[in-house]
Structure 1
Amino acid sequence: MVLMGFLPDLPRYLPRSKTLQDSVSLLCLLWTNCRRGIPAVLSVDMPEYGKAIGSLRRTLERSKKMTLQTLASAAILGRLEYSFLPSSGLMRFGVHPRGISTMTQQLGPPGRDDVVYAAILRETYKVLTPYWFFTGDNVFLNEKQWKQPIQKNITQKIGSSSLEPHEFAAMEVAARHFGGMYDQLCECHRIRSEPHQPAAIENSHGAIKYAHDLEETAAEANTNLLRAAIQSGDVEEVVDQNSLPKTSYKISNIHLGEILLLSLRVQFLNLRIYYDWAVLYDLLQADELYSRLKDLAVESWKYISFLRGIEFFDATMLSPALWPSLELANESERQYLMDFFTEIDNFRHTTPKDKKEEEMRILSYTAIITGRKSAKRDLNS
């Protein structure tokens, strides 16, 4: 579980916190079950899950001062819920993330050399991203005093000074995307409700420009980082007859792979939104944008080999960057992708999902995060 970079630091904190002990015990249980091939699914009937939640609740009720151990406990539970809850229900996006947001703000920004807290914040950002998307709550982690330690933590993990400016550019565009995502999608829904009314047409100009500018910035950041990583030897494009594009990326560092996939995802989503506006308003560039989407889909498939080579627990956090490509795939490509997405999810050893059902879930999610479908009716799905 490389992406949860604060885990190696936890043993020294365990004796100080029963809450952290219970969260770590749940993590170890689920991970051990995965390794043994035992179904690993969180449910309210699971004693260890109830114990961890109850322990966290009691700590919050009794403690007058927020601690790093308590936030780490909540961050671990947040990641476990993301990975092991059987559906994307309210438990994932409701009370718990709101609590993590409040706890983090109470604890305050990390000190200059507080590397453990910075690593926990990095995990917290991932846990809170879906929450921000569904609620529009304040994305305070994009503020300078929070963002800089998180970015520094990631660049230290990558460890290549020549890539650092390009890494920061990619992370900045991702922060911009997530910070404005809720408002962007709300604007999409408002315009789409009556797209040919004069007010909607007028508002669409700003919405189209926003998606276009963000896609363009993300494309530049992603291209520059990938080019620099290839030049430095941190990424190598190799022949791979088993892949859809017949080449794959070999990436030396999982944290670098995370940033590359993150900026690719931001580019993909905003290019899709831009394309949808072009179709809706019959813009001349619609065909060109669709062609670029197809090219970007093929580019994303070069990361499949990399995702197969890392821990499934991490791969489930990164593979959604490829979900938008499913809409651009032909029948054989779609079958290949669904085999891959199912394989990645099988680490939980749950009852195999119907592939068609899983495909519809991915397509529905993509429609939601590109503003073509409302998320509200899907919260309990």
Structure 2
Amino acid sequence: MPGVPRSKGCQTCKRRKIKCDETWPTCIQCRHINADCPGPTSLVKFINNGSHRDSHSPPSDGRRSAFKSPPLQTQASGSSTLQLRRVYYPNVDDRSAEYGLLQVTPPRANPTTLAERVATRLVGNLDKGANGITSLQMSYLPQLPSRLADSPCLRDSVDLFCAAWTDFRRRQPQGELMAMPQYGKVLRSLRRTLMSEQALKVETLAAMVLLERTCKLFDRGKFSSIHHQGILQMMERKGPPDLNDDLDITVTNEVHGLMISGYSVASCASFIEKSEWQDVMQKCAFKHPKVSNLEPLTSIDLMIVYDFSRDIFSWLNTMHQIRTDPHGDENEAVSIIFEQKLRDMLTKVRKLAVESFGLAMKEGAVTERDDPTSIVGKRMDFKGALMCQVFMSLHLIQMTALRMLYEMSIVYGSPDPELWDQFREVALDNWKAMPYILSLESIVASNAVATVFISYEAGNEEEKLYLQNVMLSVDEYLGRYPKDRAVLDTVILEAGKLLTGRKPVLKDLPNNS
């Protein structure tokens, strides 16, 4: 029996006697030396009960005709299909048979173009699990491999994303993302595309959105919102999405998520208020592929979250207007209307949270149990990271509304302690999810801690220290938050003011919110 390879590492790494990381189509070691990676070594095992012949010549025609190859057989093994077939080996001498048994997995076509290689790399790295990276604002990723051939800028953007993601997972000692050669290549490719007839294609918008998200997730330097305005301007020029194109739908939903995340894009996003956009955006939201992964929540339930997300900019601006001049000519009337809006939204979201998560817990999609590592002594677990994000979003809406209502009670001279108590109660419930968040891959976990910025104010000194530890834990590799506890305390508190309309100018949110 010939020796069986112990790993699928490429032959180049084996000849150099170094460990291959087995990331295809090109492993990191071959990429470093600029060599053509031969790909994985096949794990082939010959099954034979005889001894090897001295002669390398094949058997006589008579003997060969006595052992004809049977038809190809298949059998399931895990998630792969195994093909079993008899094959002739000239070096095998078995008086009872001239065929060994070869066990192989179905061959995969070798990528021949750059677009195919990039697509293969994305598919190979893409975590399709419930806790993977597509649970973030990246539901368009599965649509991309089939769209790379006709869009060089999208191909280059995917290549940068894969390189940055691979380095992050391996904790490679890398500096800022902008220093990577792939980053400059994407910018040059985008520049050429924007000057061509492909400028207004959905693939071009997707390339810009993926570039922004790559910077947001993986840049170890200070994150910049430099790409935001360009994305919104491109979206406006391109026009409403094609509801028959899944990529257009998913990219539109992600851009809308960009708008409602609190970035300084309010003035550039005014086009979204036009009637021709409102209807199609709502239809896109209902077609969002993530909705199917959130049972027992329904799309109708999620539209409540959508309504809040759509209105958040006007909320923040109204809150700032009232705080700036509470007794102005129109502001007292504005405050009465605004307070009622906040209370109506709070009522709807509370009802949704109680009913939907009560049902989710009954069906096992959400569970609660004791946990001594949790600051509140209990923890919530979820069937997937996306379910956790909805849970956190419902808390975020409630805390935002309650903190604004409490602030208005202060502005008009009658602080309402009951509103603060309700605010703290929601914060305590929200913190039950922190142990689960810490169990996720840090790139996913970092996207789920936005509620810390608002809930932090509600904590005592011990609870604030716990929340700081959560944030520093998920930020361990990227290092965007200050390690100095006093400085971090200030950063979180200032972010909370920004998210509840208590800052004078709507600036960029903290990097991981």
Query: How far has the Cα of 1:173 moved from its partner?
Result: 2.5
Q: Which moved more, 1:200-209 or 1:267-276?
A: 200-209
CA distance in 2 between partners of 1:228 and 1:364 (Å): 36
- Over residues 194-219 of structure 1, what are the superposed CA-to-partner deviations in whole Å (9 max), with x where a residue is unaligned? 32456433332122222222222222
CA distance in 2 between partners of 1:16 and 1:244 (Å): 51
Distance 1:9 1:204, change over 3 A: closer
Tell me whether 1:206 sits opposite 2:206 in the alignment. no
Query: How far has the Cα of 1:349 moved from its partner?
Result: 5.5
Q: Any gaps of 5 or more consecutive residues in structure 2?
A: 1-132
Aligned residues: 371
Q: Any gaps of 5 or more consecutive residues in structure 1?
A: none
CA distance in 2 between partners of 1:380 and 1:254 (Å): 21
Partner of 1:109: 241
CA distance in 2 between partners of 1:40 and 1:219 (Å): 44
Letter in 2 for 1:20: L
Partner of 2:280: 145
Query: How far has the Cα of 1:37 moved from its partner?
Result: 1.6
Partner of 1:361: 491
Partner of 2:109: none
CA distance in 2 between partners of 1:131 and 1:14 (Å): 31
Partner of 1:38: 172
Look up the SS of the partner of 1:353 in the other structure: coil
Tell me whether 1:59 sits opposite 2:190 in the alignment. no
Query: How far has the Cα of 1:191 moved from its partner?
Result: 2.0
Partner of 1:191: 322
Query: How far has the Cα of 1:362 moved from its partner?
Result: 1.9
After superposition, residues 163-312 of structure 1 pair within 5 angstroms as 163-164=297-298, 167-169=299-301, 171-197=302-328, 199-283=330-414, 286-312=416-442
- Over residues 158-181 of structure 1, what are the superposed CA-to-partner deviations in whole Å (9 max), with x where a residue is unaligned? 163x431xx532x32332223222
Query: How far has the Cα of 1:61 moved from its partner?
Result: 1.5
CA distance in 2 between partners of 1:249 and 1:124 (Å): 30
**TM-score (normalised: structure 1):** 0.87
Look up the SS of the partner of 1:174 in the other structure: helix
Partner of 1:7: 141
- Over residues 92-118 of structure 1, what are the superposed CA-to-partner deviations in whole Å (9 max), with x where a residue is unaligned? 1x5x22332233341532324x43433
Query: How far has the Cα of 1:360 moved from its partner?
Result: 1.7
Query: How far has the Cα of 1:376 moved from its partner?
Result: 5.1
> Contact between 2:249 and 2:288, CA under 8 Å: does it hold in 1?
yes
Distance 1:75 1:378, change over 3 A: closer
> Contact between 2:392 and 2:448, CA under 8 Å: does it hold in 1?
yes
CA distance in 2 between partners of 1:66 and 1:35 (Å): 34
CA distance in 2 between partners of 1:377 and 1:172 (Å): 27
Letter in 2 for 1:27: F
> Contact between 2:395 and 2:427, CA under 8 Å: does it hold in 1?
no
- Over residues 316-335 of structure 1, what are the superposed CA-to-partner deviations in whole Å (9 max), with x where a residue is unaligned? 22210232111011111111
Distance 1:259 1:151, change over 3 A: farther
Letter in 2 for 1:204: S
Letter in 1 for 2:272: F
Query: How far has the Cα of 1:36 moved from its partner?
Result: 2.0
Query: How far has the Cα of 1:43 moved from its partner?
Result: 5.2
Distance 1:139 1:254, change over 3 A: farther
- Over residues 284-321 of structure 1, what are the superposed CA-to-partner deviations in whole Å (9 max), with x where a residue is unaligned? 7x111111011011011011122122222222222102
Q: Which moved more, 1:32-41 or 1:363-372?
A: 32-41
Q: Which moved more, 1:257-266 or 1:188-197?
A: 188-197
Query: How far has the Cα of 1:20 moved from its partner?
Result: 1.4
Query: How far has the Cα of 1:128 moved from its partner?
Result: 2.7
Partner of 2:461: 331
Q: Which moved more, 1:314-323 or 1:98-107?
A: 98-107
Name the larger-Rg structure.
Answer: 2
Partner of 1:47: 181
Letter in 1 for 2:399: F
Query: How far has the Cα of 1:41 moved from its partner?
Result: 5.5
CA distance in 1 between partners of 2:461 and 2:497 (Å): 19
> Contact between 1:312 and 1:345, CA under 8 Å: does it hold in 2?
yes
Letter in 1 for 2:303: E
Look up the SS of the partner of 2:283 in the other structure: helix
CA distance in 2 between partners of 1:50 and 1:22 (Å): 10
CA distance in 2 between partners of 1:350 and 1:195 (Å): 36
Query: How far has the Cα of 1:351 moved from its partner?
Result: 8.8
Distance 1:364 1:203, change over 3 A: same
CA distance in 1 between partners of 2:482 and 2:166 (Å): 20
Look up the SS of the partner of 1:242 in the other structure: coil
Ranked by relative contact order (alpha carbons within 8 Å, sequence separation 6 or more), the top structure is 1
CA distance in 2 between partners of 1:380 and 1:222 (Å): 27
Letter in 1 for 2:463: E
Query: How far has the Cα of 1:341 moved from its partner?
Result: 0.7
Letter in 2 for 1:335: L
CA distance in 2 between partners of 1:23 and 1:41 (Å): 19
CA distance in 1 between partners of 2:338 and 2:480 (Å): 41
Letter in 2 for 1:72: A
Query: How far has the Cα of 1:235 moved from its partner?
Result: 0.6
**TM-score (normalised: structure 2):** 0.66
Letter in 2 for 1:5: S
Question: Which has a greater percent of strand?
Answer: 2
Q: CA RMSD in A?
A: 2.8
Partner of 2:160: 26
